[in-house]
């Protein structure tokens, strides 16, 4: 599914995405997000838009247009990341194909992705930590790397921690 999904252009109507993927998605609560199976959640926008300078310019009619999504290789991580309490899908699995062709897989570590980005381009690169409130105190949740159209998640502080999920934006 991933090889097909990453070829779908941003702002493709949901009906066309469903036809291409051949899926019967399940809506995630009252969000503009749909679960397509295998750990994929796709996010939709009610309008098409482009950014001109610092202005967001909307165009076209209302609808549901794909913007991007997430992939998590297990249901527990998917539920945690998306803040879901009651979500029944248990079919999330690691990708068989590369996340980024020949560069990044679920076996890639924080350190490997950092080095890869440094070799290619750090123009659209950032990294950091996310924390959450646990029993009245802030606690480490995960590390992340945002690079180009991806955000990679790592559930460990070590630079050798492997990818545990990712967010992506559809190509324009």
Q: How confident is the model at residue 41 (pLDDT cuts 50, 70, 90)?
A: very high
> Measuring CA to CA, how many Å separate 102 from each of 14, 73, 132?
29, 19, 33
Q: Are residues 62 and 124 in the same domain?
A: no
* Domain boundaries, position 50: 2-82
Sign of the C-alpha dihedral, residues 94, 83, 144, 11? positive
The number of distinct structural domains making up the chain is 2
User: Quick check: is 40 in a domain?
Assistant: yes
Write the CB contacts of 74 (distance below 8 Å, at least 6 apart in sequence).
39, 92, 93
Q: Are residues 123 and 66 in the same domain?
A: no
Q: Are residues 75 and 138 in the same domain?
A: no
Q: Which tokens go with 172?
A: 């324009």
Q: Are residues 76 and 120 in the same domain?
A: no
Tens digits of per-residue pLDDT, 111-134?
999 998 888 777 789 999 999 888
- CB-side exposure of 140: number of CA atoms within 13 Å? 11
Q: Are residues 11 and 67 in the same domain?
A: yes
User: Quick check: is 53 in a domain?
Assistant: yes
Hey, is 151 helix, strand or coil? strand
Q: Are residues 10 and 78 in the same domain?
A: yes
Say whether pLDDT at 149 is over 90. yes
Last residue of a domain, one of 46, 65, 82: 82
User: Quick check: is 149 in a domain?
Assistant: yes
Sheet strand arrangement including 137-147: 26-27, 33-37, 40-45, 65-71, 165-169, 150-154, 137-147, 125-134
Hey, is 1 helix, strand or coil? coil
Q: Are residues 56 and 121 in the same domain?
A: no
Tens digits of per-residue pLDDT, 48-57?
998 899 999 9
Higher pLDDT, 90 or 164: 164
pTM here is: 0.90
Q: Are residues 74 and 6 in the same domain?
A: yes
Q: Are residues 36 and 72 in the same domain?
A: yes
Say whether pLDDT at 63 is over 90. yes
% of the chain surpassing 70 pLDDT: 100
Q: How remote is the C-alpha of 156 from its chain's centroid? A: 18
């Amino acid at each position: 599914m991933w090889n097909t999904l990453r070829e779908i252009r941003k702002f493709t109507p949901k009906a066309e995405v469903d036809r291409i993927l051949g899926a019967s998605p399940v809506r995630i609560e009252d969000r503009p997000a749909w679960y397509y199976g295998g750990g994929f959640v796709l996010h939709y926008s009610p309008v098409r838009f482009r950014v001109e300078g610092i202005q967001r310019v909307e165009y076209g009619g209302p609808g549901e247009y794909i913007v991007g999504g997430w992939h998590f290789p297990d249901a527990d991580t998917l539920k945690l990341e998306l803040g879901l309490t009651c979500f029944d899908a248990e079919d999330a699995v690691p990708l068989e194909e590369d996340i980024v062709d020949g560069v990044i897989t679920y076996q890639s570590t924080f350190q490997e992705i950092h080095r890869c980005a440094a070799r290619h381009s750090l123009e659209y690169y950032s990294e950091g930590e996310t924390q959450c409130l646990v029993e009245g105190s802030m606690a480490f949740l995960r590390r992340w790397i945002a690079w180009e159209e991806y955000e990679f998640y790592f559930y460990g502080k070590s630079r050798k921690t492997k990818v545990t999920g990712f967010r992506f934006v559809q190509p324009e």
